[in-house]
């Protein structure tokens, strides 16, 4: 994406916050213009260039929502990204319903804001998209289906981000460990197929980066990559975010809104933390995946799309199925090609490469020259536990760069708890222990699984959960039959 001429407006009454956001935006090569109030922004002339608005919700005078309403009234087509505090959620819900493209909770991650901005800015379409818009636009007045397609392309243009800029590919996934190479091999196999992919990994392992790589290696790489973090959206908004809504569909629906499925038509949709989607919404999501069709909220017209889904979660969806928190049919629809993303502790040999990568990137952004990373400092970083995985490492390196004044990276090691060498208990030991507990319960229950005094009740499990564990641990009747067939004699 060519960023020349693009303009990002920042409206925040807090001067330090306003200038901090503006500096971040400028460091990414974008032009920015700042305002201390909504009134000042609305009164200013706005050049006809691709632009977006980073808007604080809680403003004196006209609130952020008031500013958004004024823009809608005037017909201004400026995508809005809200910055919100925890107490501003009700107002932000109204704003998103009214058409805001994203909102970030303070304190927000710098990369998350830059990614959101890039998703709204585009000054160039690839020739394929431009040609398609032109062809459809020529016919928009005569064929209703073409009008719909033209509208989708216009919305996709607002969402086209860096892969119209090809920003993420394998070159942004740093490392050479065997665990990482295994994942990259799986990505290379599945990316060209168009099949659904389910990424599972701990928080901070970089699941979105792997999802972008799948998109960028697929035949859909020239179309949009649309993302939605299901855990970051209030539950009442998720359906509208996914499927869109019509004007007047509910209180606060001031204009028609296309959902993420429509924006991703022809491209890829990444649903992060899919385990957080409510049970009542899961059937509609399943239908959209299987049939590639849905209806907007407030509409009876069926919309057909062509979307490749990439989902991610840190939860155990199979356990959630057993406790009726996740639909079994949806799980099997998602689990076409599962990929396990390893935690950082299982790829420690990648930490030096990641450290050099983050130091280079952050120091360049902060206009610092850090030439060396002392050996002792690197040892501290390699041996730290990193429960927050790559994200924690990245944020800690940023802190290191901030406190570094000279050429050598300063690592405040007291802030890191060193990884204490310990004898890890093999998974098989846990499985053996669990197996023995279940077998003992079955023997005590005389082989009875369900009902009063059954093994399931003794273990505090549902019958189906216990049966699944028995199959998983390969427990057969022979394991407890002796106790059942030959109970102890009464004295």
The pLDDT of residue 117: 85
- Residues pairing with 303 in the sheet: 294
The secondary structure of 272-321 as a DSSP string is: ETGGGS-TTTHHHHHHHHHHSEEE-BT---EEE---EEEEEESS-HHHHH
Whether 165-340 and 7-120 are alike in CATH topology: the answer is yes
- For residues 190 and 337, the answer to whether their CB atoms sit within 8 Å is yes
The pLDDT of residue 111: 78
How far lies 106's CA from each of 38, 88, 158, 261, 312, in Å?
Answer: 19, 10, 24, 27, 24
User: Class assignment of domain 345-415?
Assistant: mainly alpha
25 DSSP assignment: H
CA distance 341 to 333: 20
How far lies 363's CA from each of 360, 368, 376, 432, 472, in Å?
Answer: 5, 5, 20, 49, 50
CA nearest to 464, candidates 279, 319, 315: 319
Q: Is domain 7-120 in CATH 3.40.50.2300, yes or no?
A: yes
The pLDDT of residue 123: 36
Question: Residues of 278-302 as b/e, b for ≥16 C-beta within 10 angstroms?
Answer: eeeebeebbebbeeeebbbbeeeee
Across the 491 residues of the chain, what is the mean pLDDT of every consecutive 10-residue run?
A: 68 88 86 91 80 87 86 83 65 60 74 79 42 44 46 47 38 84 92 95 93 92 90 85 89 84 94 94 95 93 95 94 93 96 94 91 88 90 92 93 92 66 44 78 83 77 77 76 47 42
The pLDDT of residue 130: 42
On the 0-12 / 13-18 / 19+ scale of CB atoms within 10 A, 152 is: buried
Q: What is the CATH number of domain 165-340?
A: 3.40.50.300
The pLDDT of residue 206: 93
The ranges assigned to domains in the chain are 7-120, 165-340, 345-415, 427-485
């Amino acid at each position: 994406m060519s960023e020349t001429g693009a303009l990002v407006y920042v409206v925040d009454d807090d001067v330090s916050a306003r200038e901090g956001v503006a500096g971040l935006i400028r460091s990414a090569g974008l032009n920015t213009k700042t305002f201390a109030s909504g009134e000042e922004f609305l009164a200013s002339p706005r050049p006809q260039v691709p632009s977006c608005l980073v808007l604080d919700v809680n403003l004196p005078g006209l609130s952020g929502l008031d500013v958004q309403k004024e823009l809608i009234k005037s017909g201004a087509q400026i995508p809005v990204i809200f910055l919100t505090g925890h107490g501003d959620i009700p107002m932000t819900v109204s704003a998103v319903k009214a058409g805001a493209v994203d909102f970030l909770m303070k304190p927000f991650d710098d990369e998350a804001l830059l990614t959101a901005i890039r998703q709204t800015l585009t000054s160039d379409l690839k020739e394929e998209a431009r040609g398609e818009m032109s062809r459809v636009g020529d016919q928009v007045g005569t064929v209703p289906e073409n009008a719909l397609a033209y509208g989708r392309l216009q919305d996709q243009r607002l969402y086209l981000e860096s892969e119209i800029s090809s920003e993420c590919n394998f070159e942004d996934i740093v490392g050479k460990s065997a665990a990482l190479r295994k994942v990259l091999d799986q990505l290379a196999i599945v990316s060209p197929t168009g099949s659904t992919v389910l990424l599972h990994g701990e928080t901070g392992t970089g699941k979105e980066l792997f999802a972008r790589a799948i998109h960028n290696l697929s035949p859909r790489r020239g179309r949009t990559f649309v993302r939605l973090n299901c855990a970051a959206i209030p539950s009442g908004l998720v359906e509208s975010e996914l499927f869109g809504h019509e004007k007047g569909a509910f209180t606060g629906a001031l204009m028609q809104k296309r959902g993420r499925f429509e924006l991703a038509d022809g491209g890829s949709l990444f649903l992060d933390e899919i385990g957080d989607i409510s049970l009542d919404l899961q059937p509609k999501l399943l239908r959209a995946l299987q049939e590639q069709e849905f209806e907007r909220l407030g509409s009876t017209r069926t919309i057909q799309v062509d979307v490749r889904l990439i989902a991610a979660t840190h939860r155990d969806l199979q356990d959630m199925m057993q406790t009726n928190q996740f639909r079994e049919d949806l799980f099997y629809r998602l689990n076409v090609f599962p990929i396990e993303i390893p935690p950082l502790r299982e790829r420690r040999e990648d930490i030096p490469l990641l450290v050099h990568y983050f130091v280079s990137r952050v120091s360049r952004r902060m206009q610092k020259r850090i030439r060396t990373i002392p050996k002792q400092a690197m040892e501290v970083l390699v041996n730290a536990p990193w429960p927050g995985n790559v994200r924690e490492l990245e944020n800690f390196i940023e802190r290191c760069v901030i406190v570094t004044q000279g050429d050598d990276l300063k690592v405040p090691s007291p802030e890191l708890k060193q990884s204490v060498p310990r004898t890890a208990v093999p998974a098989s030991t846990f499985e053996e222990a669990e197996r023995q507990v279940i077998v003992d319960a079955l023997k005590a229950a005389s082989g009875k699984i369900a009902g009063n005094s059954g093994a399931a009740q003794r273990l505090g499990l549902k019958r189906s959960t216990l049966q699944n564990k028995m199959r998983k641990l390969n427990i057969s009747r022979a394991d407890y039959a002796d106790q059942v067939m030959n109970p102890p004699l009464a004295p």
